Every structure is written in C-alpha cells, then in structure tokens.
Amino acid sequence: MTEKVLFVAPAKLNPVDGNGVPLQTVRENISLPALMILGSLKAHRNEVELIDLSADSNLQLPVTETVHRFGLPDEYVVETISETRPLALLISSMFTTEQQMVDDLAASVKKAFPRLPVIVGGVHASLKPEWILESGNVDFVVMGEGELTIVDLINHLKEGRRDYEQVRGLAYWHQGSLAVTSPRPVIDNLASLQFSLDDVLMKGDNYRYIEPPTERTNLYNHLTESGWNRCFSLYYSRGCPLHCHYCASSEKDGLKVRHMGSQRMFRDFTELHRNYGVKIFYNQSDTFCDDSRDLEFMKLVREYRKERDDFVISNPNAFYVRIFFPPDHDYELNEDLLDLLAGAGVNVVTLAVETFHQKYNKKINFRRISPARIGDLLTAIHQRGMKTGIYMMYAFPDQTSEELAFDENTVASLPSLDRVDWQNCMVFPGTQYYRRGLAEGWFTDKSYRLALKKGYFFHALPSEFNFSQIPMADVQAFRRRNLSDFQ
C-alpha cells in the first residue's frame, strides 16, 4: 500500500427520452471539491490523484428507461485501486440526486477492497451522513468544509490511530450507532487554502475540462474565438446572506460571505490564463459582484485586458439583480457596474430572477425593482455588447398554475433577452422546504429516498416531487412550450 490518496468525482445521472437522448445538457463540470481537498492534502505533503468519472469519459449506460448514467464505469476505479494501492479513497457527494452514484461506487470498491478506508464528503453527505453510512460501504463522512478535517483524518490513518473522536467534523459508525464528532468551525482565512491545479486540470499532458463538453449553452460562445476551449470555474467565496427556502448553501457555509480576496483571485486568474491557456472563465460563487472584493478583482482584470484580451468571463450561476440597482443610490441603474463588466471581458450577463412573485423570491424587492426596470437593465447590457440571460424557476411549493402563467408571460414581455433558463424548484435535505415537507407530511425521509431512486433532476420534474398546486398536465404542457429553455 502507498500513501497516495485517491479522489473520485462520481459519474452523473441524467434524464433521457425514449430514444436515450438526454433531456438536459450533459456537462463536464470542473470538480471544485477535488480542487480544494487535494490542494489541502498536497500542502501537507500527501501524494494525490483524481479520477473524474464523468469528465474522463462520455460513456452512456442505461439505469432505467428514463435515466442514464454518464461516465467511466466504477470498475475503472477498482482497477486503478488494484494498480496503485492508495491509502484511502475519497468520494464527493455534492447533490442529493447523486447519492445513487456514490452508493454504487462505494459498494463496488468495498466489495473488492474491504479494508480500504472509503471517505465521503460534500454538501449532501454533510447534511445526511446517516444516509451515506448506513450501507456499511463508507467508513467516514467529512462534514462541512473538509480541507482541514481531511488532513487530520488522513494523518490518523497513516499513524494507525483509531481515536477518531479527536477529529472534528467527522461522522462514522461506532458500536452500531452514528457517531458525530464536535463540529469544525468554518474557515475564516480562505486565502490560506491552496488549489491542486495540476492534479485536477491536467490528465497526463491534456487539459481535462474543455469546451464544448463543459459548455453551458451556445449563448456562452459569444465573443469567443475558435480554439478557445479550456475553461475554469472561479470559486473564491463561500456563504450567502439570503438563505432561500430551496437552498442549502447558507446552512452549510453560513450567512456571512467569506472571501479569498481580490489579489488571490487575480493571481490565480493570470496563472490560469498564461500558464494553462484558459480562455473561458465561469464564476461558481453564489454572490459574485455583490462583494467589494469581487469588484476589485474585476477592476484588476479590466486593466489586464488592456494587455491581453483573449478570454471571456461569465456567470452562469447568475448575478443578483439587486446589485445593478443599489439602494444607496436610490435604486438607480448602476451604469458603472455594467461598464466594469463589459470592460473586464464579460460576454454573457445572466440574471437570477427566479420568479416575479415576491412570496417566493428573496433576491429582488419588486416594490423598487419592477419587471420593466429589469427590462431596462437587459437593454443596457445589450448596448454594451454583452448577451443576456435570465434564470427562472417553477413549481415552488404552493405555486399555482396562474402564478406560473404570469411568470411565463412576464418573461415573454422582456426586451433584449437572448435566453431564459427554466429549472424546477428542487426540495433537498438541509433546506427550509425539506423541513416543511417533513412537518406537513409531503413525504417522510423513507418515502423521499424511495422516490429519489426513480430520478430527480433540475430539468425534469417527476410527479412525486411536485409540491406545487400546478397539475402535472400543466407542468408537462409548460415544459413542451419552453422545451428549448430546459438545458
């Protein structure tokens, strides 16, 4: 056995039609957990390796008639372990919808290597560790931010220590019951964390994450050139003050925004552009440009662009609309911010609208920012040569057909809109909606998990997860009318 730590990003599930054609874009997203966790391990002199099952192959295999698996088979991981004999296997479990892939991978590995420690971390694993551990195929769940916890745990394994109660932020089975150690505080100094760029971005001599497999939609080709195919995800802050009912980010990362800082962002940006040839930068942080440090970073990029302009930046996670109408300027449109985005090379501005009904929306104060003013913003974006998009949601718990029709019609009335992306409102563990669902009897943990096995996706809403008042016939008709916007 070596002292190498093997990290695996699992394969992905996607809904398909009767011909096996995916109903949503199958994207190879950069493994941000691997970037951070392996960076922390390498900083403490651990040898690491990444297998990204979905990014390293586009193999498509059926799971059910309506759900297919995309990525290398789990047997590839088993073969790699047989060849390299790592100290431990790490698996990321970010979304509840991916638990089946995590379960299947852990089962295959544990069957072949029963003594190999299997460690799982991520948002879903942190919120429901008992779901991950109950099979007996996973030995530990790293809860919350894992960069420090994983280093402590790996040191314990190296030294043969079994006093796991001393490792903060850990869950495991102990004497037949779930043991959870004291929580680890969030990391205040995010700038101290390192990325493992080579191990994540490179596979041999080849860059791992390239367009078009990583591409969001064709809209993001705007202002790019042929050969611009290497991309990177900017993820430099954590925490969100809004705590939306459908989102677990605030529960995991807190309400306070913690940031790596503009200088760290810019240093990494220029290294990725110059040394790795990255031309396409996608932001992944929830609050991008709602923080002064993001704005400082964008000003640095604007100056850098005077020297080299062969790149674009976009934010498919979507900008808060409110940042363009600051209350300290009487909600007037922030023209300077739009100029900054255009000058820094932003090619697409996607706005997080979600819904025009205030009772479901914490992001926009519609008393001050009306749909007409959002239309003015879209037009101002166009005038600066950038493309526009809005991000919308439907099937909120309690939402009616009439409310959805209002949203659909309002979207259709907006000027200067290049694309709208619709996504059904997901109800995940760790959210306010999930707790409400348990309290009001929408489901139990058991029934939720049974329904989950049939498939639950951002762009394909099964009847078991329709907690709105919109009949499924209306949901399906809505989807047919807007089919091109479900990507």
Is the Cα torsion angle 74, 76, 82, 87 positive or negative in sign?
negative
Every domain of the chain and the residues it spans: 5-180, 210-485
pLDDT value of position 480: 87
Q: Report the alpha-carbon distance of residue 26 to residue 20 in Å, rounded.
A: 13
Q: Report the alpha-carbon distance of residue 259 to residue 163 in Å, rounded.
A: 33
Q: pLDDT of 363-372, one tens digit each?
A: 999 999 999 9
pLDDT value of position 486: 62
Question: Which residues does 222 contact at the CB level (< 8 Å), separation at least 6?
Answer: 312, 347, 348, 386, 387
Fold of the 5-180 domain: Rossmann fold (3.40.50)
Give every residue of the chain whose pLDDT is below 50, as ranges: none
Give CA separation, 253 vs 126, 150, 310, 418, in Å.
11, 17, 34, 33
Q: Report the alpha-carbon distance of residue 475 to residue 21 in Å, rounded.
A: 21
Nearest in space to 358 (alpha carbons), one of 406, 325, 390: 406
How many residues in total does the chain contain?
A: 487
Architecture of domain 210-485: Alpha-Beta Horseshoe (3.80)
Question: Which residues does 33 contact at the CB level (< 8 Å), separation at least 6?
Answer: 7, 9, 92, 94, 121, 122, 146
